[in-house]
Amino acid sequence: MKTALLLGAGSSIAQAIARALAQQGYALQLAARDPSALEPFASDLKLKYTLPVTLHTLDARAYATHSEFYENLPVFPEVIICAVGYLGDQPFGEKNWAEVENIIECNYTGPVSLLNIAAEKMQLKKAGVIIGISSVAGERGRASNYLYGSAKAGFTAYLSGLRNRLYPLGIRVITLKPGFVYSKMTEHLTLPPRLTASPEQVAKAVIKNLSSGSEIIYVKPIWAIIMTIIRLIPEFIFKKLKL
C-alpha cells in the first residue's frame, strides 16, 4: 500500500485531494498546525475506506522542526503534496511587514524548506512524486496581489528547478496551478464561475496526472490561455491596467 503525505492538510483543496487519494487506496498522513481539528475528517476517511490515516503537527514557518517532522512519520511517503499557503491581505501588507513576512514564509520559504528535505530522502530511494500547489498569480505581478503572486512565482521557479534536478532519478515533480478555487481561503471573495474550480476538480486533476501525464497542470485549461495573453502584454500597457 502506497502512502501520501499532505502538508497543509487543513485546506479545502488538501482535504479534497486526501479523499481522492483514499479512493485510490493510499494510506494518508495529514499534517497541519492544529491536527486535532482534523480528527473528525480523519475518522471519516478511516471509516469509509478502512485505510491508515495518521495526524501530524506541522508549522511550515518553524524551519528547525522540519527534519524532525519527517523523522517522526511512521513511514516515509511515496507521494508528497504541498498545500501550504496563505493568500494574505495585499493592502494591509503594503503597510505591515509582518503580513508580508507571513505571505512569503507560507507560500515560499516554508514549502521550500519542507520539500528540500523530502527531495533528499526521495533522492536516496530514487523514487517518489512531489506535488506543489502554486498559482497562476505567480506568472506576472499585478497591483492587486503582487505580494502573494511574487511568493508563488518563486515557488513555481523552485518546483521547476527541483523537477530538473530530480528527473534523472525517476522522481516526478508536479506544479499544480488551480486558478480561482472555491475554498476557505477565498470564501470572502466574489469569483467568476467560469474561471473557478471546486476543490474536487483540483483533486481530480491530481489523480489524473499522478502516475503519468503533465507536470505543469492548469486545473481549468482556460487559465493557460489567459496567462499566456497576460504575459504577452507589453509593460507600458500592462502598468496602466487595473488588474
Selecting among 70, 86, 148, 158, the annotated active-site residue is 148
Buried b (16+ CB within 10 A) or exposed e, 90-101: beebeeeeebbe
Q: How many Å apart are CA 51 and CA 18, to the nearest integer? A: 12
Q: Which residues pair with 55 in a beta bridge?
A: 30
Give me the sheet containing 129-133, strands edge to edge.
53-57, 27-32, 3-7, 79-82, 129-133, 172-177, 216-218
182 classed as catalytic: no
Q: Which residues pair with 217 in a beta bridge?
A: 176
Residue with cell 475518522: 43
The SS3 call for residue 214 is: coil
Q: Which residues are catalytic?
A: 148
